[in-house]
Amino acid sequence: MLNVVCLMGRICGDLELRHTGNDVAVTSFTLAVDRSYKGKNGEKQTDFIDIVAWRSAAEFSAKYFSRGQLVAVQGAIQTRSYTDRDGNKRKAFEIVADNVHFAESKKDKPAANNAGYASGSNGDFEDVIDDNDMPF
C-alpha cells in the first residue's frame, strides 16, 4: 500500500506546541495550498488542509515556523470518524506530517510576516567575497 503526500503552502495561524498525557509533543496547523488552475472567474482556488505533526516534527515546526510562512510538508493522509455535538456522524481528513521543511528563504518571506528579521540581515551567515584565492 502507498500513502504519501507532499504539499507546499502557507501556514494559516500560529503554531502551538502541546504535549499528550504521555509527554509526546504534538502541534496542528492549517496549510493554505493553491490549486494549479484558476476558477471560472479567473480567480485562484485555494484548499485549506489540516496538518498534524508529532514528536520531533512537532517540536521543529512549533519552534521555526509561523503564520504566513511557506513550508513543504511530507506525510500521509489519515482519516478518523467522530460524532459531533448534534449527534451527526462526521469524517475528518488530515495530513500526519513526517517532515516539515522551509520552502523559502528569510529574504523571500512576505514583508508583513518578516517580524524578527533585521532589515538586510542574512541571519547567521556571512557573505563571502570571492577573490579567487580559494584553496580548492
pLDDT, one tens digit per residue, over 14-63 is 999 999 999 999 999 999 999 988 888 888 999 999 999 999 999 999 99
Instruction: For cell 455535538, name the residue.
Output: 85
Residue 94's pLDDT band, with cuts at 50, 70 and 90, is very high
Architecture of the CATH domain 8-27+50-104: Beta Barrel (2.40)
pLDDT tens per residue across span 100-131: 999 998 766 655 444 444 334 444 555 555 55
How many C-beta neighbours within 10 Å does residue 12 have?
Answer: 16
Q: Could you give the CA distance from residue 69 to residue 51 in angstroms, rounded to a whole number?
A: 14
Q: In the predicted model, what is the mean pLDDT of residues 72-87?
A: 96
Q: pTM for this one?
A: 0.73
Cell of 1: 500500500
3-state secondary structure of 64: helix
DSSP state for residue 25 in the 8-state scheme: E
Domain ranges for the chain, please list them. Answer: 8-27+50-104
Based on its alpha-carbon atoms, the radius of gyration of the chain, rounded to whole angstroms, reads 19
Contact 71, 65 (CB under 8 A): yes
Predicted confidence (pLDDT) at residue 70 exceeds the cutoff of 50: yes
Q: Could you give the CA distance from residue 58 to residue 15 in angstroms, rounded to a whole number?
A: 9
